[in-house]
Amino acid sequence: MTIHTILKMGDSRLLRIAQPVQRFDTDALHLLVRDMFDTMRSVNGAGLAAPQIGVDLQVVIFGSADANPRYPDRPLVPPTVLLNPVITPVGAEEDEDWEGCLSVPGLRGKVPRWSRIRYTGFDPYGDPIDRTVEGFHARVVQHECDHLIGKLYPMRVRDFAQFGYTEVLFPGIGAAEDE
């Protein structure tokens, strides 16, 4: 079990475009995925992208079988490993909702995202993934995949009156759950 340091906003490595995974079902890839899940769980994350731990690959993980203390009122998203993702909006409808990020600790902002998306890619074995989702699931996937193109959620905030410290905006969420 290896818990990695999560890079924070301001680190230039978070702004890079991640490289596609070329080889599936390797020991190194499985170790990376395991470490990413260990790291995400250690900080109550809803998802994590490889660039957040300094790995320049198109690998994202998200979801959990248990409720997340950082997002206690959100529906469960199935645990997923997604490599080389492609996101396609299904329809033109967008929703604005609050987001936080492990690379932007202690802050939340209202972010517009496609309401419904189709995402495709591969699992660690190279098997295809093709899902159409909506709501919180769609939001989490879009947020994590943004990390693969060098975007952090504050870059998508449209109204900075809807951006601030979690402890002020959501006093019921403890600081420890949002760091």
Q: Which residues are catalytic?
A: 144
Spatial CA neighbour of 106 closest among 169, 155, 41:
169
Q: Which residue has the tokens 């997923």?
A: 80
3-state secondary structure of 66: coil
The amino acid at residue 84 is N
Cα end-to-end span (Å), the chain: 20
Spatial CA neighbour of 102 closest among 166, 48, 150, 160:
48
